[in-house]
Amino acid sequence: MNNKMLILLLATMCILVAGCIGDSGDDVNGEASNDSDDLVSENTTDENVSDGITDDITENVSEEIIEPRAYSIILDHYLSRPALLEINKGDAVFWNNRQNSGDRKRFTLVSEDGLWEDRSINYGVPFNYTFTEEGTYNYSILGQPRMSGTVIVK
């Protein structure tokens, strides 16, 4: 019998609580309130915004964020492909020696602009460099005039 009384008591409590939770939005006088009428907007015109602040925010939002990318230059058939590469500041370039002419030639990569010391690149072992400044940079392969190229950093 105690279980039935407990269930009946719980059911009654749930009904009472459910009735108290709902809010019709009526105030004490029985009139519906409109919260949006109670909100007062002060000084929201463009004239009151300090000059330059909104322009700075707009400029910062409109700047495109470019994630760094990696590019590959293939050294093969005694050519450098591509010979001209345009990248963004912060991008990395990998020079890949794929010259497989029986003896797997080793190349010496030279930065004509002094970005790195001359690098010996063995077959299958790439050398990479991350460009951090805008400009036009030239490279060549020592003793291989057709294996030169240019990287343009924007």
* Assigned domain for 23 exists: no
pLDDT of residue 32: 47
Q: What is the pLDDT of residue 90?
A: 97
Kindly give, in sequence order, each residue whose CB lies less than 8 Å from that of residue 100, ignoring residues fewer than 6 positions away.
76, 123
pLDDT score recorded for residue 36:
43
113 in any annotated domain? yes
pLDDT confidence of residue 26: 47
Q: Which CATH number fits the domain that encloses residue 118?
A: 2.60.40.420
Whole-angstrom distance, CA of residue 51 vs CA of residue 96:
53
Whole-model pTM?
Answer: 0.58
CA distance 85 to 116: 18
> Smallest Cα–Cα separation from 108: which of 75, 134, 154?
75
Locate 99 and state its tokens: 């010259």
The separation between CA 105 and the C-alpha centre of its own chain, rounded to angstroms, equals: 39
Expressed as residue numbers, the domain containing 127 is 70-153
- Could you tell me the two tokens for 64? 């495109």
Number of domains comprising the chain: 1
What pLDDT was estimated at residue 42?
Answer: 44
Per the domain annotation, does 30 fall within a domain? no
Q: For residues 149 and 131, is the Cβ–Cβ distance under 8 A?
A: no
Q: What is the pLDDT of residue 66?
A: 81
pLDDT of residue 30: 47
Asked if residue 98 belongs to a domain, the reply is yes
Tell me the pLDDT of the chain (154 aa) as tens digits.
Answer: 566 655 765 666 656 555 555 544 444 444 444 444 444 444 444 444 445 554 555 455 556 778 999 999 999 988 999 999 999 999 999 999 998 877 778 999 999 999 999 999 999 999 999 999 999 999 999 999 889 999 999 9
Identify whether 126 is part of a domain: yes
Q: Is residue 88 part of a domain?
A: yes
State the pLDDT at residue 104: 77
Q: Is residue 109 part of a domain?
A: yes
